Structure formats: C-alpha cells, structure tokens
Chain A
Amino acid sequence: MGQKVELACIIDDDKIYVNLVRKIIEIKKLSENLLIFKNGKEALDYFQLIMGNMTEDKLPDIIFLDLNMPVMDGWEFLSEFIKIKNNFEKKITLYVVSSSIDPRDLERAKSFNMVTDYLIKPIELKKFEKIFEKNNAA
C-alpha cells in the first residue's frame, strides 16, 4: 500500500449525497480529512486562496466534482480550474460524478485531460474503495 489519502474533496450541492459519502469515507476510513463545497464557486475561491498562500498541504489528493450545481456548475469550475492547476506541484486526481446519463455530458467530460473518469451516481461502496486504493498506489 502506498500512502493513505490525506485529504479528499467533494464539490456537490446535494446535501444528502454529501452526507452519505462522508459516512462511507468515515466507515471505510478512506481519507483522513474531507473538504466539502456546495458549488464550483466556493471550491474555486478556496483553490485561489491556496494559490495565493502557497499552502500546498491544504490541497486535496482527490476531487469528486458534480456537474449540475447552482451559481457555478461543474463545467465552469473545470474551465476555471484548468487555468490555475499548473501553479500546484501536487498531483490532484479529479473525478466527475453526476447522475446525468446523457452521452453528451460523458463525451464532454472525457475531453478534459485532467478528468480521470466520469462516474455515474450512485457509486457503489466497492467502487469507492477501489478509487481510493488506486490513488494510494499511484
């Protein structure tokens, strides 16, 4: 086993979903800490703040990004995040997580290099564990 995921990040406006994922991560001890943002704007503000302070230890190892959110949706977040991502040395794995099964969304997500995979909700527990394991191994 590689090192354990220190910090995971969820960007999602669905409170129930976030609660449940938080529980899974707790029960399975998948990550030490968890960052939660309820839309793209809040997450982006956070990353811009880190960029200013260069406090890289506050950067997540893994991001789960929802698409459909108010204020700033997942797509807008992606196109903004691309612009600042190279300022960080740390490798950040990003998964798009959505309940949309629209093939156009899938295609569009794959067109971003930084998107590791497109996960369709609901994500099974085992899948969650695998994703974290894979990230550890990397």
Chain B
Amino acid sequence: MLNDLQLNSILEDFDIAYWKVNLFSKKLSWSDHFSALVGKPGTNEPFEYFLKEILHPDYRYDFRLYFDKLTSQNEPFSLELKLKLNNGKYRWFECRNLKNKDHSNRETAVLLFVNIHQAKRDQYTIEENFFYYHETAEMTSTGGWYVDTLHKNIYWDNVTKKIVNCPIDYQPAYEERLKFYAPEHHQRVLSSFEKCEKYGIPFKIELKMLSLHNKEFWVRATGKPVYNEEQEIIGIRGVYQDIDENKTNELNLQNSLDIIATQNSRLFNFAHVVSHHLRSHSSNLSLIVELLKEAKTEADKLELLPNVVDIADNLDTAISQLNEIVNKQSLLSKNRRIIKFEDALSGVMASTSSLINRENAKIVAEFNALEEISYISEYLESILLNLITNAIKYKHPGRKPVIYIQTYIENDKEYLEISDNGMGIDLDQYGDKMFGMYKTFHSNPEAKGIGLFITKNQVETLGGSISVTSTVDVGTTFKIKF
C-alpha cells in the first residue's frame, strides 16, 4: 500500500492536484501541489478565495452548484474548468471527485484537479483546423476527391459534389469518369491520370469540366499518387479548384489585351505615317526657304512661288485626308442596327452614279443568301463605297468594269464578297502591304492610298476580317468576314 507521501509524489508527477474536503465541517485543505500551482489561499476562507480569485468566472456558478451537491448529497461530479495559475494565466483542468469505494470513510471527499490543458488545446486546434479547412474549401470552391485505382472507385467530398452540381448522395461511377470533362480535354485528363497511376507523377492542370447538367466550367485539378506500405500506387488523391470565374476573366482579359495590342500597333503605325506624310511637305517648304535665301534676283524668287502654292495644296489635302481617317475611326460610339444590304448598296450607287455612268460600270448584286446584317450603317456604306470605287479606279484598260457583289453564310459566319474584272494586282509582291496606309501600287494619279486602310480598320473594329485574292489582268476579289 502506498503511503500519502508516495501517493502525493505520483500525483504531482502527473500534474494532479487535489483538495481534501471534510463533508461535515465543509472545511477543505489544498494539497501542496495545488498551492504550488495557484498559490496559497490569501484568506482563511479557501473556498471563497478559490471562487473569487482562482476559478475563471464562467465556471463559478456551476462549480458552486456541484460542490454543494457533493458536500450535501455526496453526489459525484466531473467538470472541465479554467484555473488562474501563479503566473496569472488560465489553464484547463478537469475537476472530479475521487470515487469513494470505502463507504466507512464518508466524512472526507477528495476533489482531483487534473491538468488537461494540452489535450484541450489539441482538441481546439483540431476543431479549429477542421473549421478552417472546411471554410477554406467552401470559400475557394476547392473540392477533394480520391480515385481508388485498385478497386476502380471514385470518391468525392461534398464540395466537389457542389462544384459538379450533383446531389450530396451522388456516387460517380468509375466507368463514367470521363463524362465530367469537356471532350476536348479528355486526352489531357487521361494522360495526366495515367502518368500519375503508373509512374507516380503528380499533376496540376487547368481543365474544362462538365457539370452533371453538362454546363462547362474551368477547374484547376491537382493530383498526387497514394502509396501503400509496399510503396505501390493504390490510388490518386487530389483537389478540384473551381476557377471558372478567374479563367473566364483571364480569357476576357486576354481578349481585351489582344484588341488593345492591335489598336495600339495601328495607332503607332498611324502616328508614323502621319509624321512621315506631313514631314515630307514641311521639308519641301524648308528647302524652298533655303533656295529663296540663295536666290539672287527677283525673277529667281518668283520662279519658286508656284512650288509654295503646290506645297500648300498638298499639305491641305494631306490634312483633310488624315481628318477623314480620324472621323471614320471615331464612329465607334455609334450603335449597330439591322441594315439591308440592298439599301446600303443603293445609297452608295446613288452617290457614285456619276463615276459609274462615266465608266459604264456594271454592278450585279446577289443578296438572297443573306439579306441583312447587324452593323453600323456608315461603316457598311463606306466599305461598299471604297471597294466599288476601287474596282472602278483600277479597271482593266481594255474592258468595261463589271462588279459582282454577293453575301452568304458559311459555317455560321456572314460574308460579303466583291469581285471585279479589273487589272488585278500581283499579291506575291504587294499582298502584305495592300491594306497599309499610303500604299499605292499603280502609277495612277487618283491613288491616294487610304481607302483600303480605312476599310480594313472598319471591318476589324467591328470584329471582322478582310482578305483579298487577285490575278493580274483578270480581276480582284475582296472577301469580308463579318
């Protein structure tokens, strides 16, 4: 049998302190270890002192209640509570009475105070971690999954089920595992899972998945191999993170970026062209000024005058051309509306009737396959005007100009084609410059070199594209994809 001293030392080793309570006198005495933990009671009333100074206020009511029941009815109790230690910090203890097997010894009760702080804290940490894990998973839409490659089973957690938009009791079938991925990504999924299953290579890929109701969405799928004790791969564990919003934003952003980059390079080109074009006139002016200084006689000076007039005219034309370009570019704010090709064409033909009549040009239009389009009417008319006048301007010297215009739909896309029987152009030589500014390919005095530049800009501004095919001496076809 252990004596009190030995018992005391064992209890101390386990960080267990105790009270002895005389059930008759209600007097209590603290074990040395208890005093060592919380300090000696400052008054003769250790119980009141304990309640007031040592016990955390939250547990005062309960503790008094249990203690009274213990002393009056010898009712056992167990309570987790917080005590303020010497160092002023609260620690978790479990307080319970030592069971009294020996009924003879009924005048004394023993209350044990077992330090459970570490256990309590671990429990809190686990609860806290679980809480954070759960919240994080919910907030970031990250769902967990496990593929048992041995038994061909798939397990999804609740967040994954939520992402895939299927009921909580849904059980994905191993054989149907591909149906949750967009068909174009099947190959990528298969190869990632296969490499992980066979060689243990982890993966992190962005995929388009399909919900239970076939709605597409983007996820980032991360997977890692799971090994058994023999270091054999028995499954793949991973997460799906729903990144649909991000991915959609990213794609939109990339799209805007591309548009901005194109516009920027167009602007850059425009700025250089402008500076170049205006500079060529101003540099001529400087030359004249130098020559004027050199001129010895009045007659020499007067001789230079017509050049100044020419420069002034050229400068004026150049500026009004540039102005025209800027005006056409700034129509962007206008709204699209449904326009009949027939109406747009008759408008253009009315305004070019003198040119058409003078050249005896024949215009044939075929709009049955696609009668109307949602477009900016000024743009459509300007496009038609530029291409028609172009065709007439560069007619074949030996033929009357014929222009064939047709619209059609191909692969859900709307097209406009304008073909002529004109002089044609060598595309191997000029193809890439065709739509540049101030590029003229014929020594035609009427060539200004801005028409096709404007046309291309208008088509591209509304998200379309323009291409050209041509054969010298046969004719040219412009094809616009809206």
Task: Give the residue of A15, A21, A76, A100 whose beta carbon is less than 8 angstroms from that of B276.
Answer: A100
Kindly specify which of A57-65, A84-92, A109-117, A121-129 makes contact with the partner chain.
A121-129
Q: In the assembled complex, which residues on chain B have CB atoms less than 8 Å from the CB atom of A138? A: none
- Please tell me if the beta carbons of B307 and A19 are within 8 angstroms of each other in the complex: yes
A102: chain B residues at CB < 8 Å are 272, 276
Is the beta-carbon distance between A70 and B288 smaller than 8 angstroms? no
Q: How far is A21 from B443 in the complex, measured between Cα atoms in Å?
A: 22
A101 at the interface (CB under 8 A from B): yes
Given contacts A102-B272, A122-B286, contact A70 B442 (CB under 8 A): yes
Q: How far is the CA of A43 from the CA of B143 in the complex (A)?
A: 73
The docked-state distance in angstroms from the alpha carbon of A14 to that of B286 is 15
B443 touches A70 (CB 8 A): yes
- Whether the Cβ atoms of B443 and A122 lie closer than 8 Å is no
Encode A1-38 as 1/0 by CB contact (under 8 A) with B: 00000000000001111011101100100000000001
Chain A residues with CB under 8 Å of B441's CB are: 70-71
Chain B residue total in the interface (Cβ 8 A)? 28
- Kindly state the interface size class of chain A when it binds its partner: 20 to 34
Query: CB-defined interface of B281-317 with A at 8 Å, one 1/0 digit per residue?
Result: 0111011101100100000000010010011001000
**Max count, chain B CB within 10 A of own CB: residue among A16, A98, A102, A121:** A16
Chain A contacts for B354, CB-based, 8 A? none
Binary interface profile of B, 237-279, with partner A (CB < 8 Å = 1, else 0)? 0000000000000000000000000000000000010011001
Known: A20-B287, A24-B291, A27-B294. A101 touches B279 (CB 8 A): yes
- In the complex, what residues of B have CB within 8 A of residue A39's CB? 443
Name the distance in Å between B15's Cβ and chain A's nearest Cβ: 81
Contact of A48 with B by CB under 8 A: no
Q: Does A68 contact B (CB under 8 A)?
A: yes
Q: When the two chains form their complex, are residues B443 and A100 in contact, meaning their CB atoms are under 8 A apart?
A: no
Contact indicator B280/A14 (Cβ below 8 Å): yes
State the CA gap A76–B443 with chains docked (Å).
16
The reply to whether the CB of B146 lies closer than 8 angstroms to some CB of chain A is no
Which of these, A71, A121, A123, A124, contacts B280 with CB under 8 Å?
A: A121
User: Given the known A-B contacts A24-B291, A39-B443, A70-B443, are A14 and B276 also in contact in the complex, defined by CB atoms under 8 Å?
Assistant: no
**Nearest CB on B from A126, distance (A):** 9
Q: Contacts A70-B440, A71-B441; is A99 near B290 (CB within 8 Å)?
A: no
Q: How far is the CA of A27 from the CA of B290 in the complex (A)?
A: 12
Q: CA A4 – CA B102 in complex, angstroms?
A: 138
Known: A23-B304, A27-B291, A99-B276. 12 other contacts (CB 8 A): A14-B280, A16-B314, A20-B287, A24-B287, A38-B443, A70-B439, A71-B440, A76-B429, A99-B280, A121-B279, A122-B284, A123-B287
What is A's interface to B at a CB cutoff of 8 Å?
A: 14-17, 19-21, 23-24, 27, 38-39, 68, 70-71, 76, 98-102, 121-125
Binding site for A on B (CB under 8 A): 272, 275-276, 279-280, 282-284, 286-288, 290-291, 294, 304, 307, 310-311, 314, 429, 438-443, 447, 449
List 9 A-B pairs, Cβ < 8 Å. A16-B310, A68-B276, A70-B441, A70-B442, A71-B442, A99-B279, A121-B279, A122-B290, A125-B291
